[in-house]
Chain A
Amino acid sequence: MTINNALRRLALVALLGAFGMRPAAAGGQDTSAVGRGVRIGLTYAPGTRPGVLILPVSGANADSVGKILGRDLDWGDRLTVTGPDSGEAPTGVMNYAAFAGTGAVALVQATVTPAGSLHVVVHDVAAARVLSVADYPLSGPPLGAEWRAAVHRGSDEIERAITNTRGIASTRALFERGGQLWIIDSDGAMAHPMAGCEGALSPAWSPNGRSIAYDELANTGHHTIVVRDVLSGTVKRFATSHTLNITPTFSPDGNTIVFAAGNDGTDLYSVPAAGGASPTRIMVGQGTTNTNPTFSPDGRRIAFTSGRLAHPEVYIMDADGTNADLLTNKAFGDQLYRTAPDWSPDGRTVAFQSQISGVFQIMTIDVRDRNVVGLTSEGRNEEPSWAPDGRHLLFTSTRSGAKQLWILDVESGRLRQLTHGGSARMGAWSPRLDAVK
């Protein structure tokens, strides 16, 4: 019996999962309430991972669809996933009572329709009702990039229906491998080099995901900022009078690119992303090194690395270059080296790398109270990049022996390896890619 098997497994997973979780806040809290008292989704205690059962999927490539949905929801780190089991997809009226008391707060019923759409129904077990119904057209060849993107979008909306927070399965990451720029899906599939991006370093996404920017290192040693349209491949190039133009980042409105440039010391420059104007200097480093700008989500401030105190530290300044203030002002011990800041999407923290006993580790610092949290300790860990959910961090780690990209859920501490094969670094997590479908 398919359903019975699924129920047994779900109960087991829910039980095991409970041990790995942090204790729920006493009395719980309704995190599903959204503005004006309107309630959608389920009620559950924060820090827990409510159980979700994926029922057997029906239709073409059902196994692949089921596997991808299950993996996506698991890697979202907000749900305890069971299924799908092999077996027949349920039909007819849902018998919610059969799932009561199993730990499954939600059921996912997915079907690939003859017309080639992924039809997803999410059920609320306790309320014995349908939470959401949605269709995702599966375009392109089965298991191809577009097909997978549609399934991932389905996963993200399932997560939203159950937790009120949209998942991040339908995002991608850029990274550097062997002098080339590569792109990879959030689940590790479809890794491939992007044509025409040789010599690319420090990739960054535009806020709508339609463009990327990077430092292009030519064989002569010249560094140029390249802005590339992801779909058309057309490029714009920006450079100051200096040969060194590095670490570009987009402003949150996508209109401006800020980067570092200079010769004997580097300053921060700003240039319109659309082109048509020369870069203007917004921050004068007076011969010190200043790199790695990253905007606050409201666009008002920029965090960056500066060597103005003779060793690299992370600073915050206003977006016009004034009021620079040392952010990493704590005593970190004798290894004075902190860099590669990435401002979190919720604006509260900045992730960065800090040397501990001569080896880089990933940390976050609270922008307001300056509270520092160390997140890694195994191997050399660098170049943190936030996922759009503000909860997962992509970074480069040597913990497997070679440099590879890893993903950390900063809330649970759960870790997974994203890239395999040739050494990979400089990961940049994409924003939501709705505009690039």
Chain B
Amino acid sequence: MFASRRSIAAIALTLVAVSACKKKPAPVPPPTPAPVVAPAPAPRVNQDSIDAARRAADAAAARSAADAEARRRAAELETVRNALATKVYFDLDKDDIRDDSKATLDAKAGVLGANANVRLRIAGHTDERGSDAYNLALGQRRAASIQRYLVARGVNASRFETVSFGKERPAMSGSDEGAWSKNRRGEFEIIAGNDNLRMPK
């Protein structure tokens, strides 16, 4: 690409030089005219091209760095959002926080600590076995239990909204423990401060 542009430029300059020579009298023909005139502008053109190429390369590098940063940021956002969204599960007819849920909730408390504008909706769900109404109350108790745990980890209670779907929105259909254990859960939705989420330090 650069090579072919350079040759076109060189030919063009040579032609200009030849036509200019025709207008003036030439008592003494110059011994070596063409080689002196033609090469002189050529390095300048090359320099421009090189600068352009460097600028392009710099821009590409900057773009790529920005892309990398954006990817890193997206991954970070993903991590933070995942930390907030990860569900926790409950034992049958219980609202106690299980030991295997504590790390999940601690991670949420960390994210909430680093992002003061975030508000979370905590939704309690149940399996299908109890009665409709009693399950709504049980789901609400589960949401309240999660909130209580997070408040004990230093997050202000005003940053949560607790709701219950009872057994109205099962995560998994089926009437066996496999489905039931996935349906006895707490879910989390960011209802404010979703922008500019940061990783906890």
With a cutoff of 8 Å between Cβ atoms, the chain A residues found around residue B168 in the complex are 201, 217
* Residue of B with least CB distance to A340: B131
Asked whether A425 and B131 contact (CB < 8 A) given A221-B165, A289-B141, the answer is no
User: In this complex, which of A215, A262, A263 has the most chain B Cβ atoms within 10 angstroms of its Cβ?
Assistant: A263
* Residue of A with least CB distance to B138: A289
Asked whether A291 and B164 contact (CB < 8 A) given A220-B121, A264-B141, the answer is no
Q: Are B137 and A243 in contact (CB under 8 A)?
A: no
Q: Are B137 and A244 in contact (CB under 8 A)?
A: yes
B132 proximal to A (CB < 8 A)? yes
With a cutoff of 8 Å between Cβ atoms, the chain B residues found around residue A170 in the complex are none
* Residue of B with least CB distance to A353: B131
Q: Which of B133, B161, B164 contacts A202 (CB 8 A)?
A: B133
Q: Which of A220, A358, A426 contacts B132 (CB 8 A)?
A: A426
From 88 to 138 in chain B, residues with beta carbon under 8 angstroms from any chain A beta carbon are 121, 123, 129-134, 136-138
B90 to chain A minimum Cβ distance, whole angstroms, is 14
Inter-chain contact total with CB atoms closer than 8 Å: 83
User: In this complex, which of A244, A266, A307, A383 has the most chain B Cβ atoms within 10 angstroms of its Cβ?
Assistant: A244
Q: Are A244 and B136 in contact (CB under 8 A)?
A: yes
With a cutoff of 8 Å between Cβ atoms, the chain B residues found around residue A358 in the complex are 129
**Bound Cα distance from A262 to B140, whole angstroms:** 8
Interface band, chain A: 20 to 34
B149 to chain A minimum Cβ distance, whole angstroms, is 12
Q: Are A312 and B163 in contact (CB under 8 A)?
A: no
* Residue of A with least CB distance to B128: A380
Q: Are B132 and A244 in contact (CB under 8 A)?
A: no
Q: Are B132 and A289 in contact (CB under 8 A)?
A: no
B197 proximal to A (CB < 8 A)? no
With a cutoff of 8 Å between Cβ atoms, the chain B residues found around residue A263 in the complex are 140, 143-144, 162
With a cutoff of 8 Å between Cβ atoms, the chain B residues found around residue A250 in the complex are none
Q: Are A425 and B132 in contact (CB under 8 A)?
A: yes
From 260 to 292 in chain A, residues with beta carbon under 8 angstroms from any chain B beta carbon are 260, 262-266, 289, 291-292
**Bound Cα distance from A178 to B134, whole angstroms:** 20
**Bound Cα distance from A321 to B163, whole angstroms:** 26
**Bound Cα distance from A264 to B137, whole angstroms:** 8
Q: Are A202 and B163 in contact (CB under 8 A)?
A: no
Q: Are B164 and A360 in contact (CB under 8 A)?
A: no
B156 to chain A minimum Cβ distance, whole angstroms, is 16
A382 proximal to B (CB < 8 A)? yes
| 1/0 contact string of A307-344 vs chain B (CB within 8 Å) | 10000100000000000000000000000010110000
B86 proximal to A (CB < 8 A)? no
**Bound Cα distance from A382 to B164, whole angstroms:** 21
B75 to chain A minimum Cβ distance, whole angstroms, is 29
**Bound Cα distance from A273 to B201, whole angstroms:** 53
B181 proximal to A (CB < 8 A)? no
Q: Which of B133, B145, B148, B165 contacts A339 (CB 8 A)?
A: B133
A379 to chain B minimum Cβ distance, whole angstroms, is 12
With a cutoff of 8 Å between Cβ atoms, the chain A residues found around residue B163 in the complex are 220-223, 243-244
Q: Which of B129, B132, B134, B161 contacts A243 (CB 8 A)?
A: B161
With a cutoff of 8 Å between Cβ atoms, the chain A residues found around residue B138 in the complex are 289
Q: Are B134 and A312 in contact (CB under 8 A)?
A: yes
From 358 to 372 in chain A, residues with beta carbon under 8 angstroms from any chain B beta carbon are 358, 360
**Bound Cα distance from A312 to B140, whole angstroms:** 16
A296 proximal to B (CB < 8 A)? no
Q: Are A383 and B140 in contact (CB under 8 A)?
A: no
Q: Which of B132, B137, B148, B161 contacts A266 (CB 8 A)?
A: B137
With a cutoff of 8 Å between Cβ atoms, the chain B residues found around residue A217 in the complex are 165, 168
A–B pairs, 17, beta carbons within 8 Å: A201-B132, A221-B121, A221-B163, A243-B140, A243-B163, A244-B136, A246-B133, A260-B137, A263-B144, A264-B148, A289-B141, A291-B133, A305-B131, A312-B131, A337-B131, A339-B133, A358-B129
B interface with A by C-beta (< 8 Å): 121, 123, 129-134, 136-138, 140-141, 143-145, 148, 161-165, 168
Q: Could you list 18 further interchain pairs (A-B, Cβ under 8 angstroms) beyond the known A217-B165, A264-B145, A312-B134?
A: A202-B132, A215-B136, A221-B163, A221-B165, A223-B136, A243-B140, A243-B164, A244-B140, A262-B137, A263-B140, A289-B134, A291-B134, A291-B137, A337-B130, A340-B133, A382-B132, A383-B131, A426-B132
A interface with B by C-beta (< 8 Å): 201-202, 215, 217, 220-223, 243-244, 246-247, 260, 262-266, 289, 291-292, 305, 307, 312, 337, 339-340, 353, 358, 360, 382-383, 425-426
